C-alpha cells in the first residue's frame, strides 16, 4: 500500500550547519506539528559540508521518523541543493528554508493560512535584517533594485528562497532543466497566484554566513543572465556610441583636412584605440558569458549527484 503524501515537506539546504541543525530540527518539527499535526517531512540536504553536518543529519534521521537526509557528492551550491530537496520532497506543499535559523520556521502556519486562500506561492518578504552590515544591506538592496529594473519577469524585491509552494508549482519547477538556477526568479516566471508574508529576519544562530561576497556576486550574475537579455543589449549601445564617435572623428578629420589644420597625434589615436578595444572586449565578455551558459546546458550533465539518502524506518510518533 502506497504511503500517503505528507501535507507539507520542509526542504533545507545545509552547508556547514553542524551547530544550528539540532535546534533547527526542533523548531521546524514544532512548527509543522502546529500547522499540520504529524503529516509532514523534513528534507535536509547536505551540500558537501566540511564539518560534521552529515553526521548530525544521520543522527537526526535515525531518531526522528519525519526526517530524510540527503548527502550530495560534493558542494553543488545552494540553488542545486534546494533543487535536490525539491525533487525528493513528497508533500502536497513544500516550504524552502535555510538551516541557519535566520528565517523563522514558525511562519509556516501563517503561510499555510495564506495558501488556503487560494495562492500557489507564499513567500516571506524581509521587513528588517538583524545584525547585517551596512555593506551587506546596501549591496542586497542594489541587487534587488537592479534585477527588478532589468528582468523581463517581475521578481519580488527583498525576497529570498524562503517560500511555501503548492505541489503544482513544485512539479513545474522540477520540470525545468536549466543548470544555472535562480530559483526565486524561476518561481516568479511560473506565475500563478503569489502572495507575501512580512517578517523580521533574525541573526544566524551559530557560525558565520556561508554566503561570501563571491557567492553573492555569482548569484547576482545568474539572476541577471537568467532573466534578462539587458547585458547583451549593452553591446548594441556600445556599438551605436562607437559609430557616433567614429562619425565625429571622421568629420573632425575632414574639417582639419580642408582647413589645413593638422590633427592631434598620439593622444587622440590612443583614446580611440582604448575606447574601441575596451568596447570590443566588453562585448565579447558579455557574449561569452551567455555562450558559456549554453555550453554547460547542452552537455546534458545531471544537475547534482547524491551519494546517500537516510531515513528512519520507524513509524511516526503518535
Domain residues of the chain, as ranges? 8-212+302-311, 230-298
Could you tell me if residue 17 is left (phi over 0), alpha (psi between -120 and 50 degrees) or otherwise beta? alpha
Residues sharing a CB contact under 8 Å with residue 199, sequence separation 6 or more, in sequence order: 103, 104, 107, 124, 125, 126, 127
Pairing of strands 194-201, 40-46: unpaired
Q: What is the pLDDT of residue 317?
A: 43
E strands of the chain, at which residues?
A: 8-14, 40-46, 67-72, 93-96, 121-129, 159-166, 194-201, 306-311
Q: What is the pLDDT of residue 266?
A: 47
Closest CA to 311 of 64, 1, 8, 21: 64
Q: What is the pLDDT of residue 204?
A: 64
Closest CA to 85 of 1, 168, 3, 14: 14
Closest CA to 206 of 100, 132, 52: 100
Helix (H/G/I), strand (E/B), else coil: 14: strand
DSSP-derived letter for residue 305 is -
Whether the predicted model's global pTM rises above the 0.95 cut = no
Do the beta carbons of residue 114 and residue 195 sit within 8 Å? yes
What are the respective helix, strand and coil percentages of the chain, to the nearest 5? Answer: 50, 15, 30
| pLDDT tens digit at each of 318 positions of the chain | 467 899 999 999 999 999 999 999 999 999 999 999 999 999 999 999 999 999 999 999 999 999 999 999 999 999 999 999 999 999 999 999 999 999 999 999 999 999 999 999 999 998 887 666 676 667 766 776 766 666 667 778 778 899 999 999 999 999 988 887 888 888 988 989 999 999 988 766 555 665 655 666 666 666 666 666 666 666 666 666 766 666 666 566 656 656 766 555 644 665 566 567 666 766 777 777 777 667 666 766 677 778 889 987 654 443
CATH fold label, 8-212+302-311 = Spore Coat Polysaccharide Biosynthesis Protein SpsA; Chain A (3.90.550)
CB atoms within 10 A of CB 23: 13
The total number of residues shown for the chain amounts to: 318
Which residues on adjacent β-strands are paired with residue 67? 42
> Distance between CA atoms of 98 and 10, rounded to whole angstroms?
10
Pairing of strands 306-311, 159-166: unpaired
Amino acid at each position: 500500500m502506497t504511503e500517503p503524501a505528507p501535507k507539507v515537506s520542509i526542504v533545507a539546504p545545509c552547508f556547514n550547519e553542524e551547530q544550528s541543525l539540532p535546534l533547527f530540527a526542533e523548531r521546524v518539527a514544532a512548527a509543522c506539528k502546529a500547522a499540520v499535526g504529524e503529516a509532514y517531512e523534513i528534507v535536509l540536504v547536505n551540500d558537501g559540508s566540511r564539518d560534521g553536518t552529515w553526521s548530525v543529519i544521520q543522527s537526526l534521521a535515525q531518531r526522528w521518523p519525519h526526517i530524510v537526509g540527503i548527502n550530495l557528492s560534493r558542494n553543488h551550491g545552494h540553488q542545486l541543493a534546494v533543487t535536490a530537496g525539491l525533487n525528493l520532497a513528497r508533500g502536497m506543499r513544500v516550504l524552502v528554508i535555510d538551516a541557519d535559523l535566520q528565517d523563522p520556521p514558525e511562519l509556516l502556519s501563517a503561510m499555510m493560512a495564506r495558501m488556503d486562500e487560494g495562492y500557489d506561492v507564499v513567500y516571506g518578504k524581509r521587513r528588517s535584517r538583524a545584525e547585517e552590515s551596512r555593506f551587506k544591506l546596501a549591496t542586497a538592496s542594489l541587487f534587488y533594485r537592479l534585477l527588478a529594473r532589468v528582468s523581463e519577469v517581475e521578481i519580488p524585491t527583498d525576497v529570498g528562497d524562503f517560500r511555501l509552494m503548492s505541489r503544482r508549482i513544485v512539479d513545474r519547477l522540477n520540470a525545468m532543466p536549466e543548470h544555472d538556477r535562480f530559483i526565486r526568479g524561476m518561481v516568479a516566471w511560473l506565475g500563478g497566484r503569489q502572495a507575501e508574508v512580512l517578517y523580521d529576519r533574525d541573526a544566524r544562530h551559530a557560525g558565520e554566513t556561508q554566503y561570501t561576497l563571491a557567492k553573492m556576486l555569482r548569484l547576482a550574475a545568474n539572476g541577471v543572465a537568467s532573466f534578462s537579455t539587458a547585458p547583451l543589449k549593452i553591446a548594441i549601445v556600445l556599438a551605436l556610441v562607437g559609430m557616433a564617435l567614429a562619425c565625429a572623428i571622421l568629420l573632425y578629420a575632414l574639417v582639419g583636412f580642408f582647413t589645413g589644420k593638422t590633427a592631434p597625434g598620439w593622444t587622440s589615436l590612443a583614446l580611440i584605440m582604448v575606447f574601441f578595444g575596451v568596447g570590443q572586449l566588453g562585448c565579447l565578455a558579455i557574449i561569452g558569458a551567455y555562450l558559456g551558459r549554453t555550453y554547460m546546458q547542452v552537455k546534458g550533465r545531471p544537475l547534482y549527484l547524491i551519494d546517500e539518502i537516510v531515513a528512519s524506518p520507524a513509524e511516526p510518533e503518535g
